[in-house]
Amino acid sequence: MEKKRLGKTELMVSVVGMGGIPIQRYDEKATLDTLIACKEAGINFIDSARAYSVSEEYIGKGLQQLGRDSFYLATKSLNRTKEGFYNDILTSLKNFQTDVIDLYQIHNLGKQEDFDKIFSEDGAYEAALQAQREGKIKHIGVSAHIKEMAMQLIETEKFSTLQFPFNAVENQGTELFIRAHELDMGVIAMKPLGGGILGEVADSAMKYIVQNDLVTVAIPGMNTPEQVMQNTAAAKKGPLTEEEKAELKKISEEIGKDFCRRCGYCQPCTVGIDIPGVMVFEGYIKRYGLSDWAKGRYETSAVKASECINCGVCKQRCPYGLNIPERITWVDNYFNQM
Ligand code: SF4
Ligand code: SF4
């Protein structure tokens, strides 16, 4: 598989990497099978996070069998304090069963107060520098979902990589990526399949990303060998055909920008609603005409959206600013009126 230089880290990474979010929904065996498929397909970059529950741990166990040197390891922490972030680095090292992590990122920085916090004397960035001096991590990166904040982070010139959502329906990262390249930062495209919403045009969506010179590595979430094969095969195919371009344009117009990426950052819900699980029904109702089937699935939910107490906690957490209580209530009302 084609490899690109990940900016000033000088790591040569495969244009498709493995996103570690979905691992947490599966088991060690599925993780190992996926890692084996990644290695065979030429993937050499894995991205995980402390926030992805067992993801780091399962990957670490898999690497015991495959060899630590098979992959460059990237992970990230949501902790904003020096002590908390440093402890998270130690936990990640333990989980991955390794002495050094290639890229450690400050995860999902969105608020100005968090920006100020991480760069304070007692902030996460100090911990990252300390761990780097101690040889526990090699490079420091950052991930963000909000364009203005991402640009602010780039301009600090303190990071070697930027991780930002980018796909055929969400290409507002272009301006960021141009600036990141000027500063020799590596660019990691998260959500290349729009959190699953581009699943029906996955081939075209992967081609769209890997052929973009501004993207160093795209990291679709993967937890089966089949997904690895599909994503890497698409990446090896030639340029987008006119037909594929038209297909992506059509779907982009249908979806707009205001959709749930199923990232799970809004969780846990105060009353136990599976928020991404309910949000996904919007698409089934509005775009796919699958209301009957979706209603059947919704009825098996442990906690219905009607239980929402409108506490607003989830809204604060959603990096895309979605009005979750309003939207899940709409889904609930829709099914009740069917
Ligand atoms: S607003 Fe509703 S959905 Fe969101 S956390 Fe509160 S109870 Fe859960
Ligand atoms: S509602 Fe927002 S935070 Fe929750 S899964 Fe969807 S995009 Fe992510």
Report the pLDDT averaged over residues 258-262: 82
Percentage of the chain modeled with pLDDT above 90: 72
Percentage, residues of the chain above pLDDT 70: 99
pLDDT of residue 67: 94
| Beta pairing, strands 12-14 & 3-5 | antiparallel
State the distance from the centre of ligand 1 to the C-alpha of 315, rounded, in angstroms: 8
Could you tell me the distance, in angstroms and rounded to a whole number, from the CA of residue 278 to the centre of ligand 1? 12
Q: Whole-angstrom Cα distance, residue 141 to residue 49?
A: 13
Which residue's CA is the closest to the ligand 1 atom numbered 4? 314
Distance CA(337)–CA(194), nearest Å, equals 30
- Name the residue with the closest Cα to ligand 2, atom 4: 266
Smallest-distance ligand from the CA of 269: 1
Q: 294: Cβ–Cβ under 8 A, 6 or more apart, which residues? A: 281, 284, 285, 335
pLDDT of residue 286: 80
Residue 316 CB less than 6 A away from ligand 1: no
Residue 285 Cα, ligand 1 centroid: separation in angstroms? 21
What are the residues whose beta carbons fall under 8 Å from the beta carbon of 108, sequence distance 6 or more?
76, 78, 143, 144, 145, 265, 319
Q: Is the CB of 309 under 6 A from ligand 1?
A: yes
The better pLDDT of the pair 111, 156 is held by 156
Using pLDDT thresholds of 50, 70 and 90, give the confidence band for residue 255: confident
Q: Is 268 helix (H, G, I), strand (E, B) or coil?
A: coil
Give me 312's structure tokens. 């607003």
**What global pTM score does this model have?**
0.83
* Ligand index nearest the alpha carbon of residue 259: 2
H-assigned helices in 107-185: 112-118, 124-133, 147-155, 174-182
Per-residue CA distances from 252 to 97, 125, 197, 211, 257 (Å):
41, 37, 10, 18, 8
Task: Give residue 309's pLDDT.
Answer: 97
pLDDT grade for 189, boundaries at 50, 70 and 90:
very high
Q: What is the pLDDT of residue 212?
A: 92
Quick one: 87 exposed, middle or buried, by C-beta within 10 A (0-12, 13-18, 19+)? middle
Q: Which range is least confidently modeled, 93-107, 172-186, 208-222, 284-298?
A: 284-298
CA distance 79 to 18: 23
Does domain 3-249 fall into CATH 3.40.50.150? no
The CB density around residue 5, as the number of other CB atoms within 10 Å, is 13
Cα–Cα distance for residue pair 219/251, rounded to 1 Å:
21
324 ligand 2 Cβ < 6 A: yes
User: What distance in angstroms lies between residue 136's CA and the mean position of ligand 2's atoms?
Assistant: 32
Encode pLDDT of 27-54 as tens digits.
899 999 999 999 999 999 999 999 988 9
Whether residue 51 has its Cβ less than 6 Å from ligand 1: no
Break the chain into its structural domains and give their ranges: 3-249, 275-337
Say if ligand 2 is within 6 A of residue 248 CB.
no
Q: Is 320 in the pocket of ligand 2 (CB under 6 A)?
A: yes
- Cα atoms found within 13 Å of the Cα of residue 59, Cβ hemisphere only: 37
Per-residue model confidence (pLDDT) at position 288? 66
Residue type, 104: Y
Query: Measured in angstroms, how far is the CA atom of residue 259 from the centroid of ligand 2?
Result: 8
Residue with tokens 């230089």: 5
Q: Given pLDDT bands bounded at 50, 70 and 90, which one contains residue 252?
A: confident
pLDDT, tens digit, 9 for 90 and up, residues 138-168? 999 999 988 899 999 999 999 999 999 998 8
Phi first, then psi, for residue 334 (nearest 5°) are -60, -45
Tokens encoding 304: 């219905």
